[in-house]
Amino acid sequence: MSATFETRNLHHCFGGIQGYYQHRSTVIGLPMRFSVYQPPQAIQQRVPVLFFLAGLTCTEETFMIKTGAQRYAAELGLMLVTMDTSPRQTGIAGETDAWDFGAGAGFYLDATAEPWSKYYRMESYITQELRNIIVNQFPADPSRIGIFGHSMGGHGAITLALRHPDIFRSVSAFAPICAPMQCPWGQKAFRNYLGENQETWQKYDATALISAGHRVQELLIDQGLNDQFLTDQLHPHLLENACAKAGQNLTLRYHQGYDHSYYFISTFIGEHLSYHQEQLG
């Protein structure tokens, strides 16, 4: 099968290959960038794959550069995939005016409100187009796909896992936005991307989805207690309460002293990759 993407950079890393790519997305309607780490085991066989969804202002490079995840992925035989956090250079007025909305802040949903609905279709991009590229043109096992993320990407990972259990067999998150309908980041994004109908908002709120009956097999969340966004934006206690009422398996671990940064993620990334390997088998 001929390539549907162009290779921007390749780097040898812990016996595997770290690659950065770009392609013309038919779902988004614009060029999109993604990155893939192929562990050394991928030379011989198809391997499990984890999609990582990054947070506000990040790109397809941030996770690969900052976490040191490739060391663990090489040992465990896991492929890692990340993507940009939104479309870029859409021409929509105001797309770069704020760091928490628009460019770099796609919230991993399919926008329904104009003008954002033309390009901001990150849910369909990840679950359809990018997934197809990964399973068809990389040595990824389509039956063993997991998803995890950080902050806005933690929100995305949990909601996509809940909405697409046929695709994602494992899920975890670092400091996710757990109840976006009840925090300023989420309210701003949902109002602009989805309009004023809060029934539509519930489709992309992890706490609301759990309360409505959506389930995953297991859910692992790590949260720093020195996180500057914990009180106003993240609300893990709301998700914890919803999981308890619904009987959803949840492991929520709080860590004294840790903040919202990639120093926090890099500390626990090895444990998350081991968790996913066990879940994916």
Q: Distance between CA atoms of 264 and 48, rounded to whole angstroms?
A: 25
Question: Please, are residues 151 and 178 in contact by the beta-carbon 8 Å criterion?
Answer: no
Amino acid, res. 248 = Q
Question: For residues 36 and 58, what is the distance between their CA atoms, to the nearest angstrom?
Answer: 16
Catalytic (active site) residue 274: no
Q: Which long-range contacts (CB under 8 A, 24 or more apart) does 189-198 make?
A: 189/100, 189/101, 189/105, 189/107, 189/109, 190/107, 192/101, 192/113, 192/116, 193/107, 193/109, 193/111, 193/112, 193/113, 193/116, 193/117, 193/120, 194/109, 194/111, 194/112, 194/113, 195/112, 195/113
Q: How far is 127 from 208, CA to CA, in rounded Å?
A: 21
> Out of 150, 155, 214, 260, which one is annotated catalytic?
260
Given the residues 84, 205, 222, 227, select the one marked as catalytic. 227
Q: Which of 148, 140, 69, 57 is nearest to 103 (CA)?
A: 57
260 an active-site residue?
A: yes
211 is catalytic: no
Please name the residue that has the structure tokens 């063993």.
144
Answer left, alpha or beta for residue 166, where phi above 0 means left and psi between -120 and 50 means alpha.
alpha
* From 25, 35, 86, 151, active-site residue: 151
The answer to whether 240 touches 253, Cβ cutoff 8 Å, is no
Q: Which amino acid would we find at residue 1?
A: M
Taking the C-alpha atoms of residue 23 and residue 211, their distance in angstroms, rounded to an integer, is 38
Task: Dig out the tokens for 46 from the structure.
Answer: 């198809």
Nearest to 160 by CA among 52, 10, 72, 7: 52
| Catalytic (active-site) positions | 151, 227, 260
